[in-house]
A and B are shown apart, each in its own frame.
Chain A
Amino acid sequence: MTIDSDKIRSDFPILKTEVNGKPLVYLDNGATTQKPQSVIDTIVDYYTHYNSNIHRGAHHLSNLATEAHEEARKTVQSYINAASNREVIFTRGTTEAINLVAFSYGEAFVNPGDDVIVTEMDHHSNFVPWQMICERRGANFRTIPFDKNGNLRLDVFEKLLSEKTRIVAFNHVSNSLGTINPAKRIIKMAHDAGAAVLVDAAQSVQHVEHDVQDLDADFYAFSGHKIYGPTGIGVLYGKESWLDAIPPYQGGGEMIDQVSIEKTTYNKLPFKFEAGTPNIVGPIGLAAAIDYLNTMPFEEIRAYEDDLLEYGREQLLEIEGLTIYGNADQRTSILAFNIEGIHHYDLGTLLDTQGVAVRTGHHCTQPIMTALGISGTVRASLALYNNKEDIDALVSGIQKVRKMLGE
């Protein structure tokens, strides 16, 4: 293994922080990841040297900014292997990307009596927008359940699919269970039924395969801040044929071709979906994050993270009364659990006093919690810069909390 954990850690300045007098153990990467120095420097460099509005200025700085912004689009294109940079649309994040598709695809293709299918393990961001469009368009909102281990019930999915199915939306990786869903298979099944597919890649693009052409995804959404890039920037990939076939989401500057009182025509892709002054530096920072990832072979990143996850599971399962949620056949990066007799909020809060950052609660997936019959979990989520010492700190933190609670 050539992943040099110490070197990687030294690239992320925040990891030297102390919290409550203890060294930070950051295990909340599913919520957001930390940023390497190169990303921070890139953002500072932009504002220090070439901040300017793009695509319109006839001046030097505007040209520099436009070039960097559009270069970033190509970096993203190459990372997800999109066929063209016209298929890469910058959004505010995964949530906005999904809302865009739900709205624009919904307007064009979802009609009364049609079916829209999502999964019971989807994040609210890939759940509520579809419910909303179903309500607007008079369509049926259908969901695929999962089994007790966190595997999607593809047998049920098979039965849900019909000629009425317009679109299937699912997360490639579940943020609450860590399940890696069989994306290629799901997409193939949906396509065979004549439905389009949106992949929520918020938790997958940084951990598992992310080749949109190989997956054959019609739409694919992710957030910069979960892949070591800045907040406020996300990506919607769409096949050009689909992006041409659906109407714009928002109107404004940048997205137009000609405007007159009688009629407005829209700009070509990707600008048709990028109304207003965009987040200019966001893509530039995101590209720096991707460049950083590209310094390591992805298979090695994946092997390192898998190894760490399995170590984490082994260590946690040694703890008495601990239940892990999410035991799917294929999984990544998420350790979700509860300990008998301890409320998840208490455990999370008390871990924080020891510098261990985890997330607690329902993780924006209330349907999952309902299905599991619990109110929430403690979730430790891993990133590239985590190591076995982080897991050990989590485990000893839990032991200490036990003592504090007089167990």
Chain B
Amino acid sequence: MASIRENQAEIVEDFSFLPQWDERYSYLIELGQKMEPLPEAFKVEDNIVRGCQSTVWLHRECRDGRVILEADSDSLIVKGLAALLMKVFSGQPAEDVLKAELTFFEETGLDKHLSSQRANGLMAMIEQIKTFAVKCAEEK
């Protein structure tokens, strides 16, 4: 399976084919729409990541020291962002998730465009994933 670094590079490449921001958002929305629906049973209070404006559910599992993630959101853009994080992290060894540096936000310019990151809860999602990775690494 591709590494975290390779996954990020792939995202950056995909975005480079889409010079216009409305195209990029369309792409994000499409990614979100294509994501496996999150089972209703996982849409519980414990899985809610507090973003300011949208609700994000992040389901986390630890299997053989690997971090498995599923997500959903009532905002399609946020769901697309979650899809990117799933692509980068889900299925990766917990140690790798812990060590990983997220570079794709900067490299795609998403960081500047989503500068009010508090609004979309992106930072909160990343924090949750990292915190979970610590636990998952210990379990192993």
Contacts and interface: CB of A to CB of B under 8 A. Distances in A.
Are A and B interaction partners? yes
Interface of A: 20, 343-346, 349-350, 353-354, 360-362, 375-376, 404-405
A23 to B, nearest CB: 15
Given A346-B76, A349-B77, A375 B25 contact: no
A345 B120 contact: yes
Contacts of B21: 20, 353
A353 B22 contact: yes
B54 interface: yes
B127 to A, nearest CB: 19
B77 A404 contact: no
14 contacts: A343-B75, A346-B76, A346-B77, A349-B25, A349-B77, A350-B25, A353-B20, A353-B21, A361-B52, A375-B53, A375-B54, A404-B22, A404-B25, A404-B29
A343 B22 contact: no
Contacts of B14: none
Contacts of A346: 29, 75-77
Contacts of B25: 349-350, 353, 404
Interface in B1-57: 20-22, 25-26, 29, 52-55
A368 B55 CA distance: 18
Specify the main secondary structure of chain B where it touches its partner: helix
B31 to A, nearest CB: 14
B78 interface: yes
Contacts of B29: 346, 404-405
A405 B53 contact: no
B124 to A, nearest CB: 14
Interface string B114-128: 000001100000000
B75 A354 contact: no
Given A20-B21, A353-B21, A343 B26 contact: no
Contacts of A360: 53, 119
Residue of B29, B52, B53 contacting most chain A CB atoms (<10 Å): B53
Interface of B: 20-22, 25-26, 29, 52-55, 74-78, 119-120
Contacts of B22: 20, 350, 353-354, 404
A295 B4 CA distance: 61
Nearest to A360: B53
B27 to A, nearest CB: 11
A361 B74 contact: no
Contacts of B78: 345
B24 to A, nearest CB: 8
A361 B76 contact: no
A308 B71 CA distance: 42
A361 B75 contact: no
Contacts of A353: 20-22, 25
5 tightest A-B CB contacts, nearest first = A343-B75, A353-B22, A361-B53, A345-B53, A345-B75
A7 to B, nearest CB: 33
Contacts of A350: 22, 25, 77
Residue of B52, B74, B77, B119 contacting most chain A CB atoms (<10 Å): B77
A393 B91 CA distance: 44
Contact of A345 (B20, B26, B119): B119
Contacts of B52: 361
Residue of B52, B74, B76 contacting most chain A CB atoms (<10 Å): B76
Contacts of A405: 29, 76
Contacts of A345: 53-54, 75, 77-78, 119-120
A229 to B, nearest CB: 24
Given A344-B53, A354-B22, 15 more contacts: A20-B21, A343-B74, A345-B77, A345-B120, A346-B29, A350-B25, A350-B77, A353-B20, A353-B21, A353-B25, A375-B53, A375-B54, A375-B74, A376-B53, A404-B22
